[in-house]
Structure formats: C-alpha cells, structure tokens
Chains A and B, each alone.
Chain A
Amino acid sequence: MKTQTVEKRGKSVDEAIKAALDDLGCEIEDVEVEILEEPTRGILGFIGNKPALVRVTMREKPEEEAREVVENLLQRMKIDYRIQELVWDDGVVKINVTGNDMGLLIGRKGETLNAVQYIAGLIINRHREKEDRIRLVVDVEDYRKKKEESLESLALRLSDKVKRTKKNVVMRPMNSQERRIVHTVLQEDPQVVTYSMGNEPNRKVVISLKK
C-alpha cells in the first residue's frame, strides 16, 4: 500500500494537523493522525512554550486500493477490460468492468467472476482489522445486478407460494452473497421468515411461514 507521511508542528494540535493536510493536499478523512507531542505553555506564556507535534499519514483510498488489486489480477489474466465504474459507499467498493473478454471473465454461472472477486477481496482485507474490512463487489456490465434482480423476484414469488400453500420452500444451494440477497429482500415481509441450512457449498435458504 502506498502511503505518505509528514510531521508538522503548530501552536495547537489542530493547527499542526491543518498544516500537515495543506502539505499533503488532502482532507482529514483521508489520513491517520498521531499526536507525538502535546503543546505545553511555559511560564509567563512564552518562556518554555512547546508547540504540538503531529504525524499525519495519508491513507490510500479504499476504492483506489481495490482498483489496483483488481487491475493487477485482470492484467495477469490477460483479460481485455476497461473499468466502467468505481464507487466506494458505506464500506462497499463496487467495480464495474467492461471489455472484449467479458464472457471469459464471468465464466460458467459467474464462477470466474466470483473467484476474481473473492481473491481480490482477500488481498485487500489481508491487513485490515475486522471493523475496517471492505466488501468488494466486482461486476461485469451489471451482470451481477441483473442476476440479483432476478433472484429478488424469484424470492418474492416463492414467498407468495409459501403464504398460499403454508409449506416451507427450500431454495437451490446458493453462495453466501446470493443467500444474503434473499434474506434481505424478504426481511421486511412480516408473514415469512428465512434461514439457511446445510453446509457450504450446499447451504440453502429456507423460506417459511412466520408463526
């Protein structure tokens, strides 16, 4: 990870940080601050005055870090690609890719795309504490988004069936992302509950009538 660090002095901690931010040319959200020395006021207000000393380190933006890892992977896979969209929102980085090799990149039932996303996610989060982890979504021309929408409508149809027949429905085995989509879309429905059963990779979502 690329980082840049400066140390600055100032009459107060705030002033020192401000000077450091000016130097780095970035915002407070993009940095980590260490206070090395608190300012002290000497006698008579000037003898023995000691300014504050801070160390400010620029953090690489998560979306840039994610883009770097994904590009490194795709280049080495010799995939012809272009990044169409890169967004960072609430702990989720979404990268949408387009290009000539998209069929290859998606793979059978999205298998390759999932593998790329999984590996890139592991690399990005390797040195992150649990609370700082980033969820990475790698998508191809909204392939995932469209699949997500069709899975949502399937979940809604099946929940109707559960209400009608009053019998549980067990869905096909799905990965954790797909299961999350089903749980989320049916969460608001007061008449049904959803839960997962079985072990990976055969874990399935069950839609059942709420008692």
Chain B
Amino acid sequence: MKELVEFIARSLVDSPDDVEVTEVEGERSMIIELRVAPDDMGKVIGKQGKIAKAIRTVTKAAAAKEGKRVVVEILK
C-alpha cells in the first residue's frame, strides 16, 4: 500500500526526494501518512482536494483486496 501512495506522489511532485510515506498497520485497518515538500502540497491535493480524493480512492480499493480499511493522511 505504501508503494502505491509513494509511486503516485513521486510521479506528481516536483521534489520526489522529499516524498515520505509511512504506514501504520493494524489488524483490520491501516493509516498511511504522506509528507511532501511544502511547495508540492497542491500537487497531491489538487483543486478542491480532487487529487487527494483520487489517491484515497485507489488506495482504498487496493486495501479492500486485503480486507482492510485504509486512511490516507496528507501532512505538512
């Protein structure tokens, strides 16, 4: 799951080296925290959160395959 979010974020931002993803996994759920360079926030959030929503949607689908719920948090 981490690799998925990492791949998407790295492919969208101007500073891919500053992309940091951590995964906290529970038995039935997981939390993915995404950090990007301040200037790249817009690149992963998008207008009205459109990109963030799409990232959450694909991550949810991937987690569903493993029978898990996932929360993707984008942090400063």
Whether the pair B54, A73 counts as a contact (CB closer than 8 A) is no
Contact in complex: A115, B12 (CB < 8 Å): no
Q: Shortest CB–CB separation between residue B55 and chain A, in angstroms?
A: 7
Contact A111–B65 (Cβ < 8 Å): no
Over the window 6-47 of chain B, the binary record of Cβ atoms lying under 8 Å from chain A Cβ atoms (1 yes, 0 no) is 011001100000000000000000000000000000000000
A211 within 8 A of B: no
Q: Which residue of B lies closest to A126 (CB)?
A: B12
Interface size class of B (residues with CB under 8 A): 20 to 34
B residues near A104, Cβ cutoff 8 Å: 61, 64-65
Per the bound structure, the CA–CA distance linking A73 and B6 in Å amounts to 11
Known contacts: A69-B11, A122-B12, A126-B12. The answer to whether A76 contacts B51 by CB under 8 A is no
Q: Is the CB of A72 within 8 A of B7?
A: yes
Complex: A200 Cα to B46 Cα, angstroms: 13
Which label, helix, strand, loop or mixed, suits the secondary structure of the A interface? helix
Q: B58: CB under 8 A from chain A?
A: yes
Whether B65 and A119, one on each chain, are in contact in the complex, defined by CB atoms closer than 8 angstroms, is no
Residues on the B chain within 8 Å of A116, using CB: 58
Asked if A118 is at the interface of the complex by the 8 Å CB criterion, the answer is yes
A72 to B61, CA, bound (A): 15
Number of A-B contacts (CB under 8 A): 57
Q: Cβ of A111 and Cβ of B4 under 8 Å apart?
A: no
Partner of A101, one of B3, B7, B53, B65: B65
**Residues in chain A near residue B62, CB distance under 8 A:** 76-79
Residue in chain A with minimal CB distance to B56: A115
What per-residue 1/0 map shows which CB atoms of A161-200 lie under 8 Å from chain B? 0000000000000000000000000000000000000001
Say how far B30's CB is from chain A's closest CB, in angstroms.
14
Residue of A nearest to B2 (CB): A76
Name 6 interchain pairs, CB-CB below 8 A, sorted by A. A76-B3, A76-B62, A77-B62, A78-B62, A79-B62, A79-B65
Chain B interface residues toward A at CB < 8 A: 3-4, 7-8, 11-12, 48, 50-51, 53-55, 57-58, 60-62, 64-66
- Extra contacts, 12 of them, besides A112-B61, A123-B8, A123-B11 (Cβ < 8 A), are A76-B7, A77-B58, A77-B61, A78-B62, A79-B65, A105-B61, A107-B57, A111-B57, A115-B53, A115-B54, A119-B12, A119-B51
Which 10 residue pairs of A and B lie closest in terms of their CB atoms, listed nearest first? A115-B57, A76-B4, A115-B54, A77-B62, A112-B61, A123-B11, A118-B54, A115-B58, A76-B3, A119-B54
